[in-house]
Amino acid sequence: YSPNSKKRIYEEFFDKNGNIYCTKMFEDNEKNSLIYIQTYRHGRPHLTFKTEKQLFQHYFENKFNENDVVFCDARLLDKPLLNQQNKTKNILVFHSSHLNDNKTINQSYKMALENPQKVTQYLLLTEKQKSDILNVTNIDPDKISIIPHFIMPHQSTDNVEQLDRFVFIGRIAEEKQINHILYAYHNFLKSGFTTKLSIYGRDEFGQQRKLEQLIEELELQDNIDINGFTNNPLMEFQKSKASLLTSSFEGFGLSVMESINVGCPVISYDVRYGPSEIIDHGKNGYLVEQDNISELTKYMKLIIEQPLQNVHTKPELTFESAKQNYKQLFDSIEYSY
């Protein structure tokens, strides 16, 4: 590290026998940009790369063979993978939204979406994202497979104490928009309801303090408790009347799956992407128009007045469905297994 800026300026990498095989040099300035990467063979300088992507491409060209099936779920690796010389079967996996806040394509996804001729299959989690991609690209629909996350069955514990409360479990972060939950909950209480609210999660960048200040402003101190990270989210879901999700965006919404899987219905904003694929509106939860706090309040009231019965996971999100989906994917690319 630099004695002045305290930024990293030099890195060395050694194999298990103590032999150096790579070094990296960085600029000693605010950007701390990479200057070069030097690889070594038998203790002597071998190849030099200006960028990590050049190194990645070199590695791929030496690691892969013709017709290898390669799953790539990191957009940083798209360019070196798609530009390497071997004719591999490239399957690009999207775990989150390809869109910016203004609904244009995120720069990190452009390499993937603008070079479909180099991609064997795109693997997405939701039909809605597929529709959005087809609306702005010329990608062949047959090149896009939908395989949602799956969840294993969970045996609910019969002796769990049922509490009259809503619950939020997730990162206490700005994009989670937990303040929307507080405003909706405030309106909920003004209608004469007494159901409590519990919040579980790690604080990020001082967001918890902002929530605490809003709770004080709305005079909700006696109705809400904020807890730290929980090691047993399934138990907390199972104790609750319903869980709440008001994110501005989601990759898929694993907490929504976990909640429903133990019989706790979910009231969630219908954001890109995930909730609409997991929640069967009116059966295992409710989908709410994004950022519509009054509608969120409406469904909070409804779920207390008319609790949903027999809340369970949709068949499409089971392990058996996932196995069948992957079999179809491998059959479609003519992979022998």
Return the CATH number at 125: 3.40.50.2000
Residue ranges making up the domain that contains 194: 165-316
pLDDT-based confidence at residue 201 (cuts at 50, 70, 90) = very high
Considering the domain boundaries, does residue 156 fall inside one?
Answer: no
CB 91 within 8 A of CB 69: yes
Q: What is the pLDDT of residue 156?
A: 65
For residues 192 and 273, membership in a common domain is answered with yes
Asked if the structure places residue 40 within a domain, the reply is yes
Query: Within this chain, do residues 220 and 304 fall inside the same structural domain, yes or no?
Result: yes
Q: Which residue in 89, 96, 103 sits closest to 125, CA to CA?
A: 96
Note whether residue 232 is domain-resident. yes
Verify that 194 and 264 share a domain, yes or no: yes
pLDDT band at 272 (very low <50, low <70, confident <90, very high): confident
Region of 124 on the Ramachandran plot (φ > 0 left; ψ -120 to 50 alpha; else beta): beta
DSSP per-residue letters across 145-202: EE-----------TTPPP-SEEEEES-B-GGG-HHHHHHHHHHHHHTT---EEEEE--
Instruction: Please tell me whether residues 139 and 2 are part of one structural domain.
Output: no
* Amino acid in the structure at residue 230: T
Indicate if 133 and 61 belong to the same structural domain. Answer: yes
Q: Which H or E run includes 232?
A: none
Share the mean pLDDT of the chain. 94
Residue 251 has pLDDT above 80, yes or no: no
**23-73 confidence digits (pLDDT tens):** 999 999 999 999 999 999 999 999 999 999 999 999 999 999 999 999 999
Q: Domain count for the chain, please give it.
A: 3
Together in a domain, 176 and 103: no
Mean per-residue pLDDT, 99-124: 93
Is there a single domain that holds both residue 228 and residue 99? no
Residues 182 and 239 in one domain: yes
Decide if 34 is inside a domain.
yes
How far apart CA 135 and CA 278 sit, in angstroms, is: 23
Q: Residue 252: what pLDDT?
A: 82
What pLDDT does 222 receive? 96
Is residue 239 in a domain? Answer: yes
Query: Per-residue pLDDT tens for 283-322?
Result: 999 999 999 999 999 999 999 999 999 999 999 999 999 9
Look up the pTM and report it.
0.83
- Of all residues in the chain, the percent with pLDDT exceeding 70 is 99
3-state secondary structure of 4: coil
Using the 8-state DSSP alphabet, how is residue 331 labeled? H
Please say if the pLDDT value at position 101 is more than 80: no
Q: Which residues contact 109 (CB under 8 A, 6 or more apart)?
A: 75, 94, 98
Q: Residues 91, 1: one domain?
A: no
Whole-number pLDDT of residue 292: 98
The tokens describing 66, both together, are 């013709």
Q: Cα(199)–Cα(274) distance, rounded to whole angstroms? A: 21
| 203 plus 304 within the same structural domain | yes
Confidence of residue 228 (pLDDT cuts 50, 70, 90): very high
Are residues 174 and 310 located together in one domain of the fold? yes
Number of helices (H) and strands (E), helices first, in the chain? 11, 14
